[in-house]
Structure formats: C-alpha cells, structure tokens
Amino acid sequence: MSANPQWDISRALGVAKLFHLVCGVRDACVTPFLTLYLRQLGLAAPWVGILMGTKHLIAAFWGPFCAFLAKSYQKRRVLLMGSLLGSVGASMVMVLVPPLHEVPGYRSCNASDGATPTALPPGAAGTVTVTSAQPASSHAAGAPSPAGESRSGMVEPAGFKKAPARTVHALAGGPPGYTRTTSPALHPVTAGVKATPGEGAFNSGRTVLPLLAGGPANFSAAQGNAQGLDLSLEGLHWTFLLSLGSLVFWELLTAPLEQVADDSLYEYLDFVDATDRYRSLWIWRPLGMSAGVCGVTALVGQLECVLMTNGPRGVLHFYGYSLVGTLALLVSVSFPVPICRRWEPSYKTVKALSLMGGAPRLIVLALTVFLVGAATSAVQNFLFWHMEDHGSGELVMGFSVALGSLGEILLHPFKATLLRKLSRVGTVGLGLGCLAAQLLYYSFLWSWWSVLPAQILNAISSGALWWAVKASVEDLATPGTARSLGAMFQGHISGGGCSLGSVVGGFVVMSFSLAVLYQACCVVLLLWLALFLSIQPRLPQEQKINYSKLLVMEASDTSDSEQGTERDWLVKAMREEDSE
C-alpha cells in the first residue's frame, strides 16, 4: 500500500497544510467583518442577529449532511471543488445587495477632508426630522447629513445619526453608536404617546406624523415627508430580504467545505496508520487567519480610494475573499482524497446520540458548549460595532483577531501540562471564567485600543476550553464514536448555541445596549460556572474499559507459560503515555 503513489504521505501533508493556510486567509477576508458590512448596509442589530443566526444554523446542520452525502456517493472531491467555486460566486452576490441609502460619490479620498457633501439623487429617501411645532431654525440645526452619511464612509441606518462617544447607546432602537434623528414616534391621534422600543427598531424609517395646522400647503409637505419615510422603510425590508437570500445561498455553498476536507484527510491518513500526524495540522488555519486578517485590512485601507468610489467599503473584503478562494480552488485539485471502498451504512451519529443521552457528564458538557457558543456569538457579532463606536479602525480590529489566534498557538505546547495540572473539569472552569472576564471587560471599553489586552485571554477562553472539551469527549466516548461525538459537539451543539445567541443578542442590543448584552452574558456564564463546578462531584463516575487487562487475560488463557513483566507491556506503555 505504501508503494502506491496514492499514499504519498509527505506530499499529502504538504498539500493539506497549504490548503488549510489558504482557507484561513480566505475566511479572514470576510468572516470577522461580515456584521460590520451588514451595519454599513444600514441594518440594525435585530436584523443582523437574525442573519447571523441563520448563518450559524445552516453551518451546524447542512455541512455535516453534505459530508455524509459526499461520502455515501463517493463525490468528495467534486463537493470540495464545487463548494470553493460556488462560494467565490456567491460572495459576489453579497456585493450586489444595495445599501439602505446608496448615494454615489459619498466618499472623498482627499487627504485634507474625509467627506464631501453630495446631493440626494432624485427619488432617494432621506431621513427627515418631523416636528409638530418648532421654529425653522431649530429644524435646520438638527437636520442630519444627506442620506444619513457618516464621515467614516459608512451608510447610516434610516432614522439614526452617529452619536458622540459619551452618548453611545443613549437611545434604544437602533444600531450601537447611533442616536435618532427623528423625533419620538407619536400616536397618530393622541400626541405624546410614544412608540415602543421594538417599533422604533423595526420601523426605523417611519415616523408617524402628528396633526399639522396651517392649511393645505403644510399638509402636502407632510404627505411628501411621509411618502419618503415609507420608501425608506420599504428599502429597509428589501435590503434585509436580499441580504438574507444572499447569505443563505452563500452559506449553503460554503458550509460543507471544512468537514468534507477534514473527513477526507483523516480517512486518507487512517488507511496508512498515520492519524497521529493529523492532530498537528490544525495550527495552519489560525496561522492563515492571523496573517490574512491583518493583510486584508491593510490592503483595504490602501486600495479603497483606488478601486471604488461608492458603496460600502466592506465590498473590498469580498473581492479579497474571491481572489483567495480561487487560489484555494487550485490547491484543492491536489488535496488528498482517499479512493473510497464500497460504502456500508454506519450509525455512528445515532450511537453518539444514544451515548450522550445516557451519560450525565456528556449532557452537562453539552450544555456548557451550548452556552459558550451563545456567548461567543455575542462577541463575534457585535464586538467590532463596539470598537467602531470608540474610534477603532479596521486595522486595529484585524490585529485584535490575530492576537487571539496567536495566543492560542503559543499556548498549545503547554496543552498536556495544563490538562494534567488542572484536570479537564478545571480547565473547562478556567475557560468559562476567562470568557466571562472578557465579556465584562468588553462592556467597559474606553478607547480604540482598549480591546487588545483582553484578546490574549482567547488562548484560554477559546483554546484551552476546547482542548478540555475534546479530551473529555474522547475519554467518555465508546470505541468508534469519539470522532462523531466530537463533531456533534463542535458542529451541532456549538453551532446551535451560536444561532440562538445571535438572535437573542440582536434584540438585547435593540432594547438595551451592547454593554448590557456583554454584562448579561457574563452573569449567565458565572452562574453556570458555579453550577458546573458544584455538580461535578455528584455526577456518576463513568466506568472505562481497561483494554490492557483484557489483553492480559486473553494472553493468560492462551499461554500460561508467559510470566514476568513481558505480559504487562501494554500497561507500562499506557502509564508512560499518561505521565508524559
């Protein structure tokens, strides 16, 4: 088998390393900045939460299903290359989604000034401040900039304007860092009755006009304003629906890639008993993420004035994603995919489900992973919004992501020592505590750079926590179910938590603020940490099968002449491995 050119292990590992590196760079181009781009389109937090929740839900269940089909029909390479090619095209569909207020020439690239006022094109719906009895001078002083433009080049959501740093989140109902440019929504008949916060968020482009006095002229003007605001609300709905359709289409094509590639490589190495070398490949994806996220932000800053004159600046990230995705497509031609033997039905997923249902420790671990996924989605979805509100640029945002990935890589050599000294339960508890501390810290950001020190804790809150989870799953799994059970934890359970956390987080930001969201997540994690540690001694101990003793007993039955220490070679080897 080793003489067969199909089993060139060194070449296969080299191609796999390059593939993971390129895919890490590809993901770094868009994934961290996706919610920021949705904000630039003019979508408020609840809409963004729904979009990201849908994305996580598709990734959690569609990816494993496609991997199962690809293995069943022996079409792994076809699906691998089709996913890469399709994601390149689907990412360009996202670029075609029109922002809520699209004004050509909204950005100026002059060094002296960052913005040039432009007039609204005919038919464009701008945000209008409607008052019942105010002097014209006060109305002019409070009028927003044309079409809700910001000096940073971001298209502002309808009915909101950029708020000063000291008034961030002062009013609920819109994206963080924005305050209303319209007066509080009034009841159509009884003036003074304010709309609920939910109405303010979902009808951000609509302001109900009070009864105006002054004759037909004023009434006609009011009708024109109402029509413009209705058009703004209609544009909001279209922007959301087009974003949802594009994002679903894109995720359906992208989701199968990672699991199909991992399954193919693992089975390739398993055929030649080289799965021990599979564990060392994970480092290349975070390395690619670290390099890509810094590189793309630097390039976007340099090229935004050369390559475009209108539209959200986030479209440049999608161009980079497509370019690197094309490179990954070329590498995938040589990616190691084993020649599958005749497929036989396997029920490992069903066995994993039944195992988890009968193991209290696995149930507690699953709840922990679900809550961690929900809290992590709050960080991933809205942290860049929070940083932008405090003056951070995309380069600082990219550097914060790189710090987290590099911290995990640097801590990895101490993985075995950490798990041995603290135990798996202790390491999970430490990870939960660090994640809660990060969330609390994020709620008190005060400057553009203040997020960077907390990113170092990602090494424990993300890296060490997941090492302990995977080690616990492998320890509690029965033979043949460890990989399926681990995929269920990392895919279905964590992805389901991310989906729910995204949706709930968006509505919490709408009703309260980002700071409240982070503080609430911190409190929930601390409460679960106390419960998690308190119930561990009360959980039943899982009885593990001692395979070394079974082998020794079998050997004694077949050959009673074997004496001395030679029969205990497996016990000694396992003890030495545990002591390392």
- Each residue's pLDDT, cut to its tens digit, for the chain (580 residues) gives 344 445 678 898 999 999 999 999 999 999 999 999 999 999 999 999 999 999 999 999 999 999 989 988 888 999 999 999 999 999 999 999 988 875 444 344 544 343 333 333 333 334 434 333 344 333 333 333 433 334 344 444 444 444 444 433 333 344 444 444 443 333 333 333 333 333 333 333 333 333 333 444 443 444 444 444 455 566 678 889 999 999 999 999 999 999 999 999 998 888 888 888 888 888 999 999 999 999 999 998 888 777 655 678 888 999 999 999 999 999 999 999 887 655 555 666 777 777 877 789 999 999 999 999 999 998 899 999 999 999 999 999 999 999 999 999 999 999 999 999 999 999 999 999 999 999 999 999 999 999 999 999 999 999 999 999 999 998 888 887 888 898 999 999 999 999 999 999 999 999 999 999 999 999 999 999 999 999 998 888 765 554 544 455 445 554 444 444 444 555 555 555 544 4
Q: At 273, which amino acid appears?
A: D
Q: Round to whole Å and give the CA distance between 265 and 1.
A: 17
Q: In which residue are the tokens 């679960």 written?
A: 528
Q: Round to whole Å and give the CA distance between 67 and 258.
A: 9
**pLDDT value for 34:** 95
**pLDDT value for 262:** 92
Torsion, Cα of 268, 270, 273, 274 (10° steps): 60
Q: Of 312, 317, 285, nearest to 298 (Cα)?
A: 317
Long-range contacts of 120-127 (CB under 8 A, 24+ apart): 120/146, 120/147, 123/231, 125/101, 125/158, 125/205, 125/228, 125/229, 125/231, 125/232, 125/235, 126/101, 126/228, 126/232, 127/158, 127/159, 127/160, 127/161, 127/181, 127/182, 127/205, 127/232
Q: Of 404, 395, 407, 379, nearest to 502 (Cα)?
A: 379
497 to 255, 376, 378, 542: CA distances (angstroms): 17, 9, 11, 26
204 to 41, 54, 142, 183, 406: CA distances (angstroms): 14, 22, 18, 11, 40
Q: Round to whole Å and give the CA distance between 320 and 394.
A: 15
**pLDDT value for 71:** 87
**pLDDT value for 303:** 81
Q: Round to whole Å and give the CA distance between 495 and 372.
A: 10
* Cβ-based burial of 255 (10 A; exposed 0-12, middle 13-18, buried ≥19): buried
Distance of CA 328 to the CA centre of its chain: 21
* Cβ-based burial of 190 (10 A; exposed 0-12, middle 13-18, buried ≥19): exposed
**pLDDT value for 276:** 83
- Do residues 351 and 484 make contact, with C-beta atoms less than 8 angstroms apart? yes
Q: Is 178 left (phi over 0), alpha (psi -120 to 50) or beta?
A: beta
- Do residues 255 and 55 make contact, with C-beta atoms less than 8 angstroms apart? no
Q: Round to whole Å and give the CA distance between 70 and 79.
A: 7
Q: What's the first-to-final CA gap in the chain, in angstroms?
A: 32
Q: Which two tokens stand for residue 281?
A: 């490949």
What's this model's pTM, rounded to 2 decimal places?
0.75
Q: Round to whole Å and give the CA distance between 482 and 212.
A: 70
